[in-house]
Structures are given as structure tokens and as C-alpha cells.
Amino acid sequence: AELITCVLRPAAQALAELEDAKVTHRGIRADNVFRVGPGQPVTLGCAWAGPPASLQPAIQEPPYAALCLPCGRGSGTIADDVYALGVLLLTLALGRPPLAALDEATILRRKIALGSYAALTAGERLGPVISDLLRGMLAEDPDHRPPPHLLTDPAAARVRKLAARPQRRAQAALTVGSIAVWDSRSLALEIARQPKEAVKLLRSGEAERWLRRSSDDAGLAARIEEAVRIRASDAPGEDAEADALLAVRAIGRLDPLAPLCWRGIAIWPEDGLGPALAEARATDKPACEALCQIIRGEVAGIWASQREPRSDPGAVRKDAQRQRVLQRTGGAGAFGGGVERLCYALNPLLPCASALLGQRVVVVAAALLPALEAVAGRADRGEATPVDRDIAAFIATRFGERVDEELMELGSPTDAARAGMVRLRLLARLQSTFGGLPTPALAAWLVSQVDPSLGGWKGRARREAVAAQIKDLVAAGLLDPIRALIDDHSEHQADEQGAALAAQTIAQIDAELAAIGSGGAARRQIAERLGREIAAGIGTAALAGVVAWTMLG
């Protein structure tokens, strides 16, 4: 009675209100419900502070969610919260967690093979009320679980019973690796967990024959045979990606409830890809590469097409195409694209992960410049730049205006001063758009990366005048006036004209000097002849003078 009054009804009421708000909790477990004292209703604990269901033990989640990466389980539906509430009720009814002695992989296999209710309650004594409620709340198909508003009236919830088609158990087991499987959903699980071994069985036709002969399911066998034919047309020889696509198609046809499984990892692609990618990028590079392969190949669209009508293939395919475009933006070396861009686009509340920001949490574009100003005074201006790949991707995603042109220029080979000007223009647009506080330290950092060219000024006097004005603007922390001063087209044109005139004058002087240098030999001969003539004339005049002086006595 206390379980019904203090746990089920208040939790179901909370879930009903969440369902009306079109959100899920995804954190219902024994250590995340509280009450002030005996006889008091429980309160659901923290939700939405992390990726949905990322802190849930696998036993609390339906098999199709427990199989996924913890951060890739997605928001799910309110039926997933009903399932978790059912496991909580069972835990409280037993006074301990069910199957506590088993590891998560074994629990997952038992749930798939036996069904969640049978797996979790095997050998346990439960009252008829709790037993009837749990049969519905732990149903394998989420559509068969009672909605929260019905659980507020347990008597009505007990009456609601939907017949579920039992799994077809084979007459003989199929061995995948070291695991014996007896039904199609268990086979799908082993394909997900042991893709290399399972793909061999699929391509050899052994899995199709087992479905046809031992499981007596000709329809499903024909669908698996079709998937193998598609694999053969995709790549006749050995091809790891074609094998992975075969596994995706086979799992979708064997178990429409299964998530997207790709090379040993599983996610719920519709809303679990973003959190899984952000987590894997920070902690698990192989998983990150596998997720990037899913995006590059638009695998989510293929997965959705295998499980109609439980997914909308058109919508999923459109999202997959958009994600692929974001990943390819500007190419692999471009700023503002790649996996960084995807992480911020798929996680609207993900803080900027740039190492430049230290421990500062920047979630919106307006908070970026104050954070950069705080670290600018301590930054190594010789090595670091105010716009790294994470900051570029963050700006591209969070900034309302289009900045792809500047980001493309940052990613292309260029000289340091030109790249410094691009960063100045980019951050000046941010400051002008959000009208933030002055940033003198950041301005000094940006200007230090534009020097010594100061935007390409050629005239020394003009460059010195601009430098003096920039010094005042840096002290004021105003980025756009600095950008406007360095980028002033009319002044640059006058500077170019002055430089051209100076070059012309220098050319004239050089020509005159060259002419003087090339006529030196002729002038020397003339000078020598004139010298001899003058010397002879002077000698003759002197001799005449002496003769005249002698004759005159």
C-alpha cells in the first residue's frame, strides 16, 4: 500500500505533468528519489543537468536504451520513464536491486531473451497488485506500457492489459562467437556486440538458414537474405564499411526496437548523437571516429528506413544530410567546421571547450569576449591566438550572423599578420553586435598579432600616425574602430599612391646614377686630353714669359 500511495502515485503524477510539457525525466532510480520521512510521498531527483539517462544503471533502462553509450541514449519517451519507475518499484518491493550479482552484459542478454519482466522477477515472490503493474510497466514495446496518467489510478492500470506477441524461440541455437542465441532479438543483440563474428554468419548465409529452418520464420529470413544481397552489390569483396552497413540493416530487420549499432557502439541517433559525440570527442577517440563515420555515411537514414513505422525515415535522412554538411564545412582543415562544429550544433547548451578559456563556462556568444578579456592578460601572445578551432566553431554555431567567410580564410594558408587581421574582424563583429564592455587586454593581444605590418601600411609616417591612434583605441578596448582604422580603404589607396610615387622617384634617381656610372670612361679620356692640352698651354705660356723677361733684361 505504501508503494502505491507514496511512490507510484506521486511519481506518476509528476511524469504526467512532464508528458504534458513534452519532456522526459530519464533519471528515475533508487538513489535519485527522496522523501522527508516515513509516510511521505517521494520527490523525483535531479534531471536535465546532463545527457538524458547518462547516469542510469543499465538495469533501470529498457534494453534498447541500455545497449547505447551512456551519453547516446537520447531523451526517449515518457514510456522509458515508466519503465524506470517499474524497476524502482521492483527494487523497493524486494528491498534490494534485482539481479545485483550479474554484470550488465548478462542482464541485457537475459532481458532480450526472456523479456524484462521475466528476467527481473525470476524466482521472486511479489504480491498480485505489484506483479500486475510491473507486467505492464516493464513491457518490451514502449507502446504497451501504461501512460503516467493511468498509473495515478493503479486499479485502472491493472485492468489495462495489452497482448504482446511472444518471441519465436528456435528449435536449435545459433552460436555467435561464444554466445548461443535462440531468437531473432538475441541475434540482433549479438550482431551489435560482436559485429565481426556475426557478419561472417550473415554473409555465409548461415544466419538466414537458421531463421528459415530452426526459427521457422521465412519472412524474416527473406529480409535478411535481401540485406546480404545489398551488401554484395555495395562491395563485392572485403569492405569494412559495407560489412558495418550490413550489420545496421540486419539489426533493424531483426529487432525494430534496437538503436543504431555501428562497429561495436550503439546510439539513439535522433537525439543521442550530439551528447555522445561531445563525450567521445573529450574522452574516447575511437568512439568519436566511429560516430564521425556514421555522420559521413548518413547511416542514420539507412537505420531509420529499416524500422518503419517506428521512425520517420524522411526526417531522419534530412537531419543526417544536414549533419554531414556541417561536418564537411570548409574541409578538414577549415576553422568553424568538422567535428567541433557538429558538437556545438547538436548540443545547444554545450559550453565552449577551448583550452584558452580555462575553467570559464561560455554557453552563449555574448559571453565569449568577456571570457577572452579575462584570460588575455595572461595568454602567451607568441604562441596562442584568440581564435582557435573550438572558438571558431562555437562562434559559427552560436553567432547569428554568417561568419563562414572569415573562418574559411583562417583555415587557409596565409601569413600571420593577415590571419591576425581576420581574427580582429571576427571578434570586432561580436563586440559590435552584442555591445559588450570594452576589452583593452584582448585588443592589445589582437593588435600584437597584426604587427609589424599594421595592416600593410607602407609609408613610415602614416604607419607611425596609425600606430599612435591604435594605441589610444587599444587603451579604450574598442575593437571595431581599430579594425576600421587598419582597414580604411581610402587611406590605404592614398598610401599605395604615395608608395607608387616614391617608387617612381627612386627609379628616376637610380636611372640617373646608372647613367652617370656608365659614362665615366669617356669623361676620363676627355679629362685626360683636356688636362694635357691645358698643361701644354700653361707650359708654353710660362716659356714665353721667361723668354720675354730675358729679352727685356
How confident is the model at residue 496, as a pLDDT? 66
The torsion angles phi and psi of 362, rounded to 5 degrees, stand at: -120, 110
How confident is the model at residue 156, as a pLDDT? 77
| 236 preceded by a cis bond (ω within 30 of 0) | no
| Residue that is written with C-alpha cell 549533419 in the block | 323
- Host H or E run for residue 215: none
How confident is the model at residue 85, as a pLDDT? 98
How confident is the model at residue 334, as a pLDDT? 60
Question: What three-state secondary structure class fits 106?
Answer: helix
How confident is the model at residue 325, as a pLDDT? 87
Tell whether pTM > 0.75: yes
* C-alpha cell at position 500: 607608387
The three-state (H, E, C) secondary structure of 266-318, written as one string: EECCCCCHHHHHHHHHHHCHHHHHHHHHHHHCCHHHHHHHCCCCCCCHHHHHH
* C-alpha cell at position 459: 609609408
How confident is the model at residue 332, as a pLDDT? 46
Instruction: Decide the pairing of beta strands 265-267 and 260-262.
Output: antiparallel
CA 409, CA 415: separation in Å to the nearest integer?
Answer: 11
Of the CA atoms within 13 Å of residue 373, those in its CB half-sphere come to 20
* C-alpha cell at position 378: 595572461
The DSSP string of 491-546 is HHHHHHHHHHHHHHHHHHHHHHHHHHHHTHHHHHHHHHHHHHHHHHHHHHHHHHHH
CA 405, CA 107: separation in Å to the nearest integer?
Answer: 52
CA 33, CA 9: separation in Å to the nearest integer?
Answer: 14
The DSSP bridge partners found for residue 260 are 267
Instruction: Kindly tell me the number of DSSP H helices and DSSP E strands found in the chain.
Output: 28, 6
pLDDT in tens, the chain (553 residues): 899 999 999 999 999 999 999 999 999 999 999 999 999 999 999 999 889 999 999 999 999 999 999 999 999 999 999 999 999 999 999 999 999 999 999 999 999 999 999 999 987 889 889 999 999 999 999 999 999 999 988 887 776 666 566 788 899 999 999 999 999 999 999 999 999 999 999 999 999 999 999 988 999 999 999 999 999 998 888 899 999 999 999 999 999 999 999 999 999 998 999 999 999 999 999 999 999 999 999 999 999 999 888 889 999 999 999 999 888 875 545 677 788 989 999 999 999 999 889 889 999 999 999 999 998 887 666 667 888 889 989 998 988 667 777 777 776 656 677 788 888 888 998 998 887 789 999 999 888 887 655 556 666 777 777 778 888 988 999 898 888 887 776 665 666 666 777 777 788 887 777 777 666 666 667 767 777 777 777 777 777 777 777 777 6
- Residue in 235, 301, 291 with CA at minimum distance from that of residue 263: 291
Of the CA atoms within 13 Å of residue 261, those in its CB half-sphere come to 32
